[in-house]
Structure 1
């Protein structure tokens, strides 16, 4: 979800990759929550962090505590950020309760991504 938000809210100005420690597939409730919010996850797939080990990053943002613990050391020492968010896929209950968990996380992520974009824009202005 964070990948889709960042890619679309930056209007493609930021190259974004998302990966996990134990990737499976895109969760259908994540896709539904994103579609309801007007964001498309088309073309995204679950990836392992191992697929990105050789990739250069300026920033690495972990969004769950588990990933923060297992995130490997990456080349070029990117700036690290951590957004401690619960994994909505772990929520148990009715279909509606589980969907609401994805909606909550989507709302939290979009706020954080928008804030990050403001900070990055300010940083670019300062560097010039």
Structure 2
């Protein structure tokens, strides 16, 4: 599955948008629906995965070599689902374009704080965003 997700030619953001639309259409509830933003860490041993560095992660409860992801979920009385994601890239990454290129990070990606990433995701759920 990891090989398929990494090497297949597909529109990652398009799939995200389709999933988000499906979830909001089927689980959407104006009385009980809320967006939930949270981060999680992925412990890593190497240094080549995008965003990896020694940083605090709640996954281990300490500073560890890891990646950090910011996630958006939608929850209502009808159910819950993850609908968006962003990889947090520390400035040690965004200021090193060569390193970013080696990890397939697109040229236009700039530093954003975790709160900025978390704020951008719900904004994408609005029509015309």
Give me the TM-score of the superposition, normalised by structure 1. Answer: 0.29
Tell me which of the two structures has the higher relative contact order, counting C-alpha pairs closer than 8 angstroms and 6 or more residues apart: 1
Greater radius of gyration (CA):
2
Q: Judging by fraction of residues, say which structure has more strand.
A: 2
Q: Judging by fraction of residues, say which structure has more helix.
A: 1
